[in-house]
Amino acid sequence: DELFSDDDELFAASVNLNYNSGQDNSNIDPYQFKDFPSMTYMARKLLNIRKKSKSFAICTDCNKLYDITSIIPKNPDNNTTIGFKCTYIEFSNHPMQSYCKSCDSELLMKVLINNGYIWHPKIIFQLPCLKTQLSTMYQRPGFEELLK
C-alpha cells in the first residue's frame, strides 16, 4: 500500500473519497470546492484536524518529565509566589537520609499577561504521535534508497 501525504488525506476528508473503494471520481463538480482552502494549514483549521502530540514539562536539573496539566495550579487567581517543584529523588532507597534528597527544582515560572500572571513551564518537551513521525520519515527524499 502507498502512504499518502497529509495533503491527500485532507482532500479525501473534504470530499469524502475512499482511495481503495474503486469508485469513479470523475463526476466530481470542480466548482463544488472552489472555496476550500488551498493551504494545508487553513484546511486543517477548517476541518479541525490536529496533529496529536503530548506535551511534558521538564525539570531543568534532573530531566524528569511531568504532565503539564497536573502541575499547573487550577485556580487562575492563585497569587502564590512558588510554583510546582520537582519531586524526583535519585537514591530513594538509600539507607542514609542525606542521599535521599529530592531535586526541588522549580518547574514553573510566572508569565505576565494583560490581566495578571499565569504559570507556564520553564521547558516544554513535545512528543509527536507515532503516525506523524512515521509519515515524516517515509516522505523524506531518498528514503527508499536508504533501505536497500
| pLDDT tens track for 103-131 | 888 989 888 888 888 888 999 988 878 87
**Count of the separate structural domains present in the chain:** 2
Same domain, 48 and 64: no
Render pLDDT for 24-56 as a digit per residue (tens, 0 to 9).
566 677 777 777 777 777 877 776 666 677 889
Mean pLDDT on 46-70: 83
Q: How far apart are CA 29 and CA 11, in angstroms?
A: 14
Q: What is the mean pLDDT of the chain?
A: 75
Neighbours of 142 (CB within 10 A): 7
Looking up cell 500500500, which residue turns up?
A: 1
Residue 134 falls inside a structural domain: no
Same domain, 26 and 78: no
State the pTM of this model: 0.53
Which range marks the domain in which residue 66 is found?
Answer: 53-126
For the chain, percent of residues with pLDDT exceeding 90: 9
Same domain, 38 and 73: no
Q: How far apart are CA 54 and CA 63, in angstroms?
A: 16
Residue 144 falls inside a structural domain: no
Same domain, 121 and 58: yes
